[in-house]
Amino acid sequence: MNKNIKDIIFERRTIHNYNQNIVSDEIINESIDCFLQAPNHRHTQPWKIKIANRPQRERLAEDAVEMKKTKKELSETQIKAIKAKYTCPSHLLVILQIKSDSEFQSKEDYAAISCGLMNMSLYLWDKNVGTKWSTGGITRSEKTYQLLDVDENVYEIVGFMWAGHYDHTPKKPAKLAAEDVII
């Protein structure tokens, strides 16, 4: 890494707007290797990652627009923005959790996946690649499972990870300090 880990942690931001530049498959694969280093209870490795292809992303964009239209009327500008969210970032990684019959194991597995996502985000940030973790309604849609050929009896889509290059770094949001949370 080019910087120390504390600097990367403190500098990382969620990116909402991406440019059209492509992130190399090598960097994406290395970020997945970083994801896989996450601690996980009893080494269950409860995850799979699917990289959505262009036609899948275009279909997800259409489905997202339709889902939003059921809640409110959308302007052409809003429709364009929703479609860009799905088609513009270089990569859309679909994060899958292997289902468990045990509620405790499911919580442990989700925690492990969360750690993996942070590993991935920090690695990508160091490579000047932004990310956004999303758990919106489309991740729970039956149409999404069908489109992505995910067996909902085996896996749960626990979120989308957007990854791509960006032009502007968002301002740092207010965060608590250690002395604010230690009791």
pLDDT at residue 2, as a whole number: 57
The two three-digit tokens of residue 162, written as one number: 């957007």
Alpha-carbon distance 108 to 87, whole Å?
A: 32
d(Cα 135, Cα 123) in Å, to the nearest integer? 21
CA-to-CA distance for 27 and 129, rounded, in angstroms? 9
Please name the amino acid found at residue 56: Q
- The single-letter code of the amino acid at 125 is W
In the chain, the amino acid numbered 144 is T
What pLDDT score was predicted for residue 3?
76
pLDDT in tens, 108-134: 999 999 999 999 999 999 999 999 999
C-alpha distances out from residue 127 to 36, 72, 120, Å: 18, 38, 11
> Model-level pTM greater than 0.85?
yes
Which is higher by pLDDT, 41 or 50? 50
**pLDDT tens for each residue of 131-152:** 999 999 999 999 999 999 999 9
